[in-house]
Amino acid sequence: MKVAAIQMVSSMRVSDNLAQARALLGQASQAGAELAVLPEYFGLMGQQDGDKLTIAEPYGQGPLQQFLAQCARQLGLWLVGGTIPLAPPTGATVADAARVFNSTLVFAPSGACVARYDKIHLFRFDNGVERYDESSVLLAGNQPTTFDLDSRDGQRWRIGLSVCYDLRFAELYRAYASAGAHLLLVPSAFTYTTGQAHWEVLLRARAIENLAFVLAAAQGGRHDNQRHTWGHAMAIDPWGQVLAQQDQGAAVVLAELDFAQMQGCRARLPALQHRVL
């Protein structure tokens, strides 16, 4: 199965970001990708965290969700929509109503939304220069999510969803492996500082320990809000080898995933069967 990890340098202008995403998704489709993954915050990298609230949508309707459904349908793609801000349900407490979920939505080639994952782990970092605390505007999810994709070669892929900071929590991906996942997705907007130190080693570790493919879309470059993201969107095989990557800048990272290769890795090294805890 050919897959595409989309790398973007999203701006503070939603219309520009959607145009950039549409062009990159078109390239992925033209190249024969069946599955394409947009990065975290593909629709907006705001001046401040609270800007996410201005484009929040109720689940099931809104321009960002319409955009994703239309792209999936027009391009014939399985489309994983990076993340978009989804409003909490009606009846939320006053405190929760002032925040949003950072949500990944999956659209089938028909345009139907077939899965939703709300980012579970919320990033916090303070090195005295850079300060981030996603919990100030985001609500944490609590439910791991998989979906099944029947590829053109007749294989049924089980795919586990995660977002960015989730990457540091190995137990989430182990749960996906236990649920039969073959491919793990990580749409992200890693900071340059943390990405330079940890991005590749964590992605490769998640692939190796779960004997699964990993596909990581990314934000990668200097944004007009002056935030600098690490980029390095990549695809990794179950043996931990990097199949393809893009350092910085907008790009489509393409890779062929071989189901038989994954099965062979799991047969030669049946580590998933040797778990004790």
Task: Specify the pLDDT at position 94.
Answer: 74
3-state helix, strand, coil in the chain (%, to 5): 30, 30, 40
Pairwise CA distance, residues 196 & 89, whole Å = 37
- Options 52, 71, 113, 119, the catalytic residue: 119
Could you give the dihedral angle defined by the CA atoms of residues 119, 103, 35 and 21, in that order, rounded to the nearest 10 degrees? -120
CA distances (Å), origin 133, targets 55, 137, 191, 215: 19, 8, 13, 25
- Options 40, 71, 113, 134, the catalytic residue: 40
Burial 41-72 (b: 16+ CB within 10 A, else e): bbbbbbeeeeebeebbbebeebebbebbbebb
Task: Specify the pLDDT at position 93.
Answer: 86
Is residue 209 part of the annotated active site? The answer reads no
Tokens of 47: 């001046």
Task: Specify the pLDDT at position 255.
Answer: 98
Task: Specify the pLDDT at position 202.
Answer: 98
Task: Specify the pLDDT at position 95.
Answer: 79
Is residue 40 part of the annotated active site? The answer reads yes
The stretches in the chain having pLDDT less than 70 are none
User: What's the length of the chain?
Assistant: 277
Task: Specify the pLDDT at position 92.
Answer: 82
Total number of domains constituting the chain: 1
The pTM is what? 0.98
Residue 23 sits in a domain whose CATH number is: 3.60.110.10
Ramachandran assignment for 24, one of left (phi > 0), alpha (psi -120 to 50 degrees), beta (any other)? alpha
Q: Apex CA 149: angle with CA 148 and CA 155, to 5°?
A: 110
Is residue 200 part of the annotated active site? The answer reads no
Pairwise CA distance, residues 60 & 38, whole Å = 19
Model confidence pLDDT, tens digit, residues 91-140: 888 778 889 999 999 999 999 999 999 999 999 999 999 999 999 999 99
CB 78 within 8 A of CB 185: no
- Options 34, 71, 134, 164, the catalytic residue: 164
Task: Specify the pLDDT at position 157.
Answer: 98
Model confidence pLDDT, tens digit, residues 30-57: 999 999 999 999 999 988 888 988 999 9
**What is the domain extent for residue 25?**
2-273
